[in-house]
Each structure stands twice: as C-alpha cells, then as structure tokens.
Amino acid sequence: MVEKQFAKDEVIFREGEAGESFFQITDGTVGIYVNYGSGEQHKLTELKKDQFFGEMAVIEAYPRSATAVAESDVKAVEISSGDIVSLFKENSDKVLDIMKHLSKRILELTADYTEVCETINELHLGEDPAKRKESLADKIKKFVNVYKNSKHSGEVKSVESLRKLDGTAHNEGFSKNIESFKKGTVIFKEGEEGNCMYDIHFGSVGIYKGYGTPDEKLLSKIHINRFFGEIALLEKCTRSATAVTLEDETTLETIDLDYLKELFDKNPPKVELIMAHLSYRLRKLTDNYLEACKLVYDVSDAEKSGNVSDELKRKTEEYRIKLYD
C-alpha cells in the first residue's frame, strides 16, 4: 500500500483501462464519471474521505467502468492487487470496510432498481403522456437520463470473475459452523434481524418474498458454492426476504462477523470469494437496473414519435409479469 497525491482536476484512472489497484481516500474529493471529456460526460457520484473507489476492477479483473478525477487536491492510499492477501492478515478491518462499502452500494442500487420497476408498473402505454401524474412524469425523465448517460459504458464479461465464483469448491480449506437441513427448512425470515451470512456446500436454497402468504413469490434459487444473506450481516439491517431449503441434506456454513475475521487469517481464498461475490452481485444489479432504464427510455422515445409498437407493449407487459407475478 502506497499513499498517492493527486492535484485538482488530475485524472486518477480512465474508463476502459485495466485495473491493477484501487484506492481509499484519506483527504479530498474524487468525482466518478462516465464518458469523461466528451459531450456526453456524466458525473455518477462524488466520494470523500475514507471511501473506496476502483475496487471492482481489481476484485473481478474487469476494465475500469468509469473515470476517476480529483475534484480537489487529493490524498489516497493505493492498494494493488498483490496487496490484498496481505491485507487479510494485517488489516482485516480494512477488508471488512471494503465489503461494507460494496454492500452499501448494493442496498442503494436496489432501492433505485425498485423505483424504476415501480415506474414500469405504473406505465399504461397508449394513454396521453400529458395527463400522467407529475410524479410519474418526473420519474420517467429521471430514468431516461440515467440510460442516456450510461448506455455508452457497457460491461465486458470477465472470465476471471466467473471462474472465481463457479470454479472453486467452497468446502475447501478451513471451515466450521456447518450443518445440514431437510427440505423446507426456513433458514431466516423476511423482516428478521440478520447477524450472519451463509455459504452453500451442498443442495439449494430458495429466496422468497411473502413466503407462506397468498402473495408468495420465488425470487431466485441459489445453488452449491454460492453465498446468501450477506447484506443483512454487513449492513446490520433486517432480512429483505425469506430463505428456505429446496432439497434434503442442504448443507450450509454459517458465517458471522467474528468467524469472518477468523477467515482472513485461516482461509483467505474464502474471503476473496466473498468479495468477488459482492462485486459480481453489484455488477449484475447494475446491468438489470440499466436494462429497466432502457425500457423506460424506449417507451418515452416511442411516445414522442407517436409510434408505440405492439412489440414494445409486449416487452413492457412481460417485464411487469416478471417482476410482480
């Protein structure tokens, strides 16, 4: 780890570059941009002291998805990809901070994604756009602008990130707190306080909204060598869904904060997998969010031209069904 200094307006790294290090700000402000220096430049966010940036490119071996610019004179600690393993042993709190940083971004983006999905659900194609509620019109404008400003920064799938998630057995190396459950066991309930996450060593788990009610919906199925429940652990928030085992002998490793810190020393590859999982989850959520924003953009564009096709109506209806049925 090395402390670096950047002058105001200096580019720290550029969109599309290979990422070999990431940064934690110790003083100053950093702006994160897409299409920096072009006519379509858009500022995504502004980061300040103690915040991280550039970590996803290192964790998942992706090209940089945005450009980082010093908005003032900046001091930042640069952490290279080769430093990560030593961080596990020497400064576990910093690694935990990175995980919490990623989980916080997932929570924030989930709220944005929920909002755009609700906007799609409110759309009724064929009605007069001028008669829509002002709040809905404002939401449409917001998501149209999100898509317009982001559509030129498409993601490139990373073979390395998928290998980390798919090619490593999670029962390798040091582990404990392992238990098997019969089919239909509720691991945790929506609305409960969460103080641990889980790693699937065998079997599968279903994630449900409204479990056991008439509105029950299966959101996803999670299989062997996957994690779940990490956001409630890292953010100390309530569970957003219910987790239920889908097979007999589903085997789970329970990971609380104390055990997570123990893994920094005794099983660093497991910690790398958790970080890759968080980063990959954030990227996937970003893709889903932009896909939904594109649908709102297409609807708005079609309505302006007075040419709302049957295909676009079908896509909008299918999206509603996928999200709410």
Q: What would you report as the CA-atom Rg of the chain, rounded to the nearest whole angstrom?
A: 22
142 and 282: one domain? yes
Tell me: pLDDT of 147 over 50: yes
d(CA 240, CA 208): 9
Where is the domain boundary, 81, 105, 121? 81
Q: Is residue 166 part of a domain?
A: no
Is 165 within a domain?
no
pLDDT at 26 > cutoff 70:
yes
Residues 295 and 219 in one domain: no
Selection from 104, 77, 70, 72 nearest residue 234 by Cα = 104
Does one domain contain both 66 and 112? no
For the stretch 170-198, what's the b/e string if a residue is b when 16 or more beta carbons lie within 10 angstroms of its beta carbon? bbeeebeeeeebeeebebbebeeebebbb
pLDDT digits (tens, 9 = 90+) for 166-183: 556 788 888 899 999 999
207 with 257, same domain: the answer is yes
Phi, psi for 73 (deg, rounded to 5):
-65, 130
Q: 84-133, pLDDT tens digit by residue?
A: 767 767 777 888 888 998 899 899 889 999 899 889 888 877 677 777 88
Q: Same domain, yes or no, for 179 and 250? A: yes
Q: Are 227 and 187 in contact (CB under 8 A)?
A: no
pLDDT of residue 88: 67
Same domain, 286 and 142: yes
CATH number where 64 lies: 2.60.120.10
Same domain as 195, residue 52? no
CB atoms within 10 A of CB 299: 23
Q: How far is CA 68 from CA 7, 83, 152, 283, in A?
A: 13, 21, 17, 18
Per-residue pLDDT, 61: 67
Instruction: Give the mean model confidence (pLDDT) for residues 71-81.
Output: 91
Summarize pLDDT for 237-283 with one digit per residue, the tens: 999 999 999 999 999 999 999 999 899 888 888 888 898 888 888 88
pLDDT tens per residue across span 186-234 = 999 999 999 999 999 999 999 999 999 998 999 899 999 999 999 999 9
CB-count exposure of residue 81 (10 Å: 0-12, 13-18, 19+): middle
Q: pLDDT value at position 184?
A: 97
Same domain? 185 vs 255: yes
Q: Domain count of the chain?
A: 3
Domain contains 89? no
Q: In the structure, what pLDDT confidence band is assigned to residue 322 with cuts at 50, 70 and 90?
A: low
Q: Are residues 136 and 72 in the same domain?
A: no
pLDDT greater than 60 at residue 163: no
Whether residue 169 is contained in a domain is answered as no
What domain range includes position 102?
Answer: 94-150+278-324
21 and 68 inside one domain: yes
List the beta bridge partners of residue 33: 43, 67
The answer to whether residue 167 is domain-embedded is: no
88, part of any domain: no
Is 240 within a domain?
A: yes
Interatomic CA distance for residues 253 and 168, integer angstroms: 15
Continuous segment of H or E residues that includes residue 202: strand 197-202
161 belongs to a structural domain: no
Question: Which neighbouring-strand residues pair with 53?
Answer: 23
